[in-house]
């Protein structure tokens, strides 16, 4: 499958993408994960991106398009992909459209995850992520805690709260989303590609996507 997952931070894009990869070998491409690993490695990209990320702002479009232009040409994308956190601005969406045309790739559709703001705020402040870059399993201290507090079930590494999951950064990320990313819903609606889903459980979201795919 070839899908874009749209939704505010904390709407569940990453969790849904991980579930979908298990269905048919499509790969999850998360620009947030790519940027976080660049920051950890201290690469040029990471140095350029870090300040924006900590402040809850978007990284400049040119940097993101540089990453995605290369990533979509990698071999593993041939079995399908789930774009998680990209595009996030109208210019990114317009450039992606041109890029996909050039690569002769057709999207199935664009999923918009509608989740109420109070649920999003609660999820983000209680989310914990495995600190092992190879694992990055996601937990929630209220609804999906790890078996041993602070330790990842899958790999045994410590689970952590991300730098951009402080209340201040979360508020800023939600404002950024409303200003710069929410307009993509209209953009993809006009393209005839939008699938709006009002569901808070990731299993219900996956079912709605499968139904639309006819799988
Ligand atoms: P995420 O994990 O998707 O919430 O991304 C974490 C941070 O990475 C965001 O708050 C942005 O600073 C940056 N980021 C991720 N994807 C993009 C994108 N497509 N465009 C601009 N910045 C991005």
Domain boundaries defined on the chain: 2-26+80-213
Give yes or no for residue 17 having a pLDDT over 90. yes
The one catalytic residue among 36, 88, 123, 128: 88
Record: fold of 2-26+80-213: Rossmann fold (3.40.50)
**pLDDT digits 0-9 by tens, 148-180:** 999 999 999 999 998 888 888 888 899 999 999
CA of 66 from ligand 1 middle (Å) equals: 14
**Cα angle: 27, vertex 153, 22; to 5 degrees:** 25
Residue 9 Cβ < 6 Å to ligand 1: yes
Average pLDDT in the 97-113 region? 96
Q: 162 catalytic, yes or no? A: yes
Residue 59 Cβ < 6 Å to ligand 1: yes
Give me the pLDDT at residue 11, please: 93
Percent of the chain predicted with pLDDT > 90: 81
Give me the pLDDT at residue 163, please: 81
Average pLDDT in the 86-110 region? 97
The one catalytic residue among 13, 36, 123, 128: 13
Helix ranges (DSSP H) in the chain: 13-24, 31-41, 44-55, 61-71, 90-102, 117-126, 167-176, 183-190, 202-213
Give yes or no for residue 215 having a pLDDT over 80. no
Give me the pLDDT at residue 165, please: 85
DSSP 202: H
**Cα angle: 189, vertex 176, 19; to 5 degrees:** 60
Q: 88 catalytic, yes or no? A: yes
**Better pLDDT: 159 or 136:** 159
Give me the pLDDT at residue 199, please: 80
Give yes or no for residue 57 having a pLDDT over 80. yes
Length of the chain: 215
Quick one: which H or E segment has residue 74? none
Q: Which residues pair with 158 in a beta bridge?
A: 151
**pLDDT digits 0-9 by tens, 59-91:** 999 999 999 999 999 999 999 999 999 999 999
What is the C-alpha to C-alpha distance for residues 5 and 115, in angstroms, rounded to an integer? Answer: 13
The pLDDT confidence band at residue 200, using thresholds 50, 70 and 90, is: confident
What is the DSSP annotation of 110-131? Answer: EEEE---HHHHHHHHHHEEEES
């Amino acid at each position: 499958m070839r899908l874009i997952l749209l939704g505010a931070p904390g709407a569940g894009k990453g969790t849904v993408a991980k579930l979908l990869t298990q269905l048919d070998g499509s790969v999850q491409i998360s620009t947030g994960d790519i940027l976080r690993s660049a920051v950890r490695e201290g690469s040029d990209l990471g140095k350029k991106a870090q300040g924006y990320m900590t402040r809850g702002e978007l990284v400049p479009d040119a940097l993101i398009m540089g990453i995605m232009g290369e990533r979509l040409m990698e071999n593993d994308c041939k079995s399908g992909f789930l774009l998680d956190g990209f595009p996030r601005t109208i210019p990114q969406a317009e450039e992606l459209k041109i890029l996909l045309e050039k690569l002769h790739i057709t999207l199935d559709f664009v999923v918009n995850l509608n989740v109420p703001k109070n649920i999003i705020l609660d999820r983000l402040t209680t989310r914990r992520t495995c600190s092992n870059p190879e694992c990055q399993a996601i937990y929630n201290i209220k609804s999906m805690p790890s078996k041993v507090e602070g330790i990842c079930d899958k790999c045994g590494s410590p689970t952590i709260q991300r730098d951009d999951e402080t209340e201040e950064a979360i508020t800023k990320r939600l404002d950024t989303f409303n200003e710069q990313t929410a307009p993509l819903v209209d953009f993809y609606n006009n393209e005839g590609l939008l699938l709006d889903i009002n569901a808070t459980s990731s299993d219900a979201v996956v079912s709605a996507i499968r139904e639309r795919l006819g799988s």
